[in-house]
Structure 1
Amino acid sequence: MGLLTGLLTFPLAPVRATVWAAEQMAAAAEREYYDPAPVRRALAELEQDLLAGRIDEDAYDRREDELLDRLAELERRERPDERRRAP
């Protein structure tokens, strides 16, 4: 970028910085959303809650189904090529 271009586009620097920051936050949120580790932790905590008597079996079953569905969704997303090859 030349000196003239730099001077002419300098007023846009705050906008570019804001866009960059938003892109970084979106990327971090996406990585966190698609990370299976928090789902596995939630499953372990759910089992501890059941064993400690903090929740009943019906609540455990409902939440476990939700978490297992989420985990399966994440695993399918990691291996999209296997869905195409399956008969």
Structure 2
Amino acid sequence: MGLISEVLLLPFAPVRGGGWAIRQVLEEAERIYYDPATVRAELARLEEQLEAGEITEEEFDRQEDELLDRLEIATRTSAGLGNGTAP
């Protein structure tokens, strides 16, 4: 951008900076959400809850399916990127 457009858009700088910050937070949240280690830890916790009688078999099956779907997405995504991280 030219100097004139930068000067004219200066009042909007906080908005542009805020948008960048929000994108960074969302990217990190997605990285953690699809991290295979995180999903495996949640699967282990879920199994502990089932064994302790805190959840029913049906609830376990439902949550396990969701976690396995996340793990599959994470595996496919990390294989596609080649760096071991999700988007």
TM-score by shorter chain over 0.5: yes
1:25-36 pair list within 5 angstroms: 25-36=25-36
The amino acid that maps onto 1:19 is: G
Q: 1:29 Cα shift? A: 2.4
- 1:10 is displaced (CA, Å) by 3.3
CA RMSD of aligned residues (A): 2.9
Partner of 1:85: none
Structure 1 segment 32-71 matched on structure 2, within 5 A: 32-71=32-71
Greater RCO, 1 or 2 (C-alpha within 8 Å, sep 6+): 2
Name the SS for the 1:28 alignment partner: helix
Instruction: Provide structure 2 residue ranges, at least 5 long, that are not aligned to the other structure.
Output: 82-87
Mark the structure with the bigger radius of gyration.
Answer: 1
The number of aligned residues is 81
CA distance in 2, matches of 1:70, 1:45: 16
Normalised TM-score (structure 1): 0.64
Q: Which runs of 5+ in 1 are unaligned?
A: 82-87
Q: TM-score, normalised by structure 2?
A: 0.64
Structure 1 residues 25 and 10: CA distance shift in structure 2, 3 A: same
